[in-house]
Amino acid sequence: MDKILVVDKVTKEYPGRMAVSDLSFEVKQGSIHGFLGPNGAGKSTTMKMIAGMIPSSSGEIKLFGQTVSPDNRALRNQLGLLPENAPLYMDMKVEKYLQYVARLHEVKNVREQTDRVMEELSLTDVRGRLIGNLSKGYKQRVGIAQAIVYDAPFLMLDEPTNGLDPQTVVEVRDFIKKLSARKTILFSSHVLSEVEQLCDHITIIHKGKIRASGDLKDIHRKFRQGLVIKLGLGLGENLPDLSSFGKYDVTHHSTLSMEEQFMVTFESEADIRSDLGKFILNQGKKLMTLHIESPELEDIFLHMTENRK
């Protein structure tokens, strides 16, 4: 099966408020799919609908080919979720808690499974400690552990690195990367660099509406309108007139310690680097840098979320 999750024109309306509207996107098997959006964009609501915890007002969500609804319990062992606030019992010990969650999901070899998950998430040392006494980083690990302890093939993580210290963030990211070898992951975040590092597919949501969805490379390509070239000239040198290469716009200029750096966007997408290099050298300028600049995910995100307010 290629598509594990299909969200088709899903709308969730609360009295007097539209949480998400007409959402459509797909998650492919084996991918880490980034679900991007600013706070309040509707990411958590969408994830809860996918998990069957709340019903949608209209539209359809299909997981593993089955329609998701709060009444469809058959799908519940197929999906692991770390919600924004991990559902942790502060008065339980780590090991007991994970065993309890495993039992709720009818796991057969509860002890082996919880031992394995604790080992994977480096929780073995704190297995006998009360969850309430753990640091935020460890609590989040326990939250991830509860989502994977019953070995669901599809995993949803709602901002799993939010509020963690940098070292734990790196560890959690590495673990997610490792998990992706055996699970399909829908991963929400508003940290763009994180999504760029981890995900191969993304969906950008803003104010309850999809702004872009698909392969990260395709989105990069789609967003790139024209050709952006970073040009480095000698210190104090000005950019010559480049109109012989078609319409262009200098979007950024900064003076660095060794060069004057210009970001030039050409309307035409044709690769003009070679001719441009020669042209600049013929103008008697020093050419320090010349390369095509791909738009950062941050640029795409800002474009998608700001320009469409």
Partner 1 sequence: MIITMWKKEVESYFSSPLAYVLIGLFSFISGIIFFNLLVTYTDGIQAMPQGMSEQISFVEEVVLKFFANVNFLFLIFIPLITMKLFSEEKRLETLDLYWLAPTRDWQLVVAKALAALTLIGAMLVMTGVFPLVIWGIGIRDFSLLGTSYLAVLLNACAYISLGLFCSSISGNQIIAALLSVLGIMFLWMITWGGHLNSNYLVAEIFTYIGITSHFERVLRGILGTQDLIYYGSFVFTFGLLTVKSLGRRNW
Query: Where on the chain is the footprint of partner 1 (CB under 8 A)?
Result: 48, 51-55, 70, 73-74, 76-77, 79-81, 83, 85, 87-92, 96, 100-101, 103-106, 146
Closer Cβ to partner 1, 36 or 107, answer by number: 107
- Closest contact distance (angstroms) between CB of 194 and partner 1 is 23
Closer Cβ to partner 1, 48 or 183, answer by number: 48
Closer Cβ to partner 1, 100 or 223, answer by number: 100
Q: What whole-number distance in Å separates Cα of residue 97 and Cα of residue 281?
A: 68
Can you spell out the DSSP letters for 133-146?
GS-HHHHHHHHHHH
Helix ranges (H only) for 88-135 are 94-104, 110-120
94-104 vs 110-120: helix crossing angle, rounded to 10: 130
Closer Cβ to partner 1, 48 or 141, answer by number: 48
- Closest contact distance (angstroms) between CB of 132 and partner 1 is 10
- Closest contact distance (angstroms) between CB of 149 and partner 1 is 11
Residues 6+ apart with CB under 8 A from 16: none
- Closest contact distance (angstroms) between CB of 177 and partner 1 is 24
- Closest contact distance (angstroms) between CB of 123 and partner 1 is 17
Pairing of strands 154-158, 184-189: parallel
Q: What whole-number distance in Å separates Cα of residue 95 and Cα of residue 22?
A: 41
Closer Cβ to partner 1, 17 or 73, answer by number: 73
Count the Cβ atoms, other than its own, within 10 Å of residue 170: 12
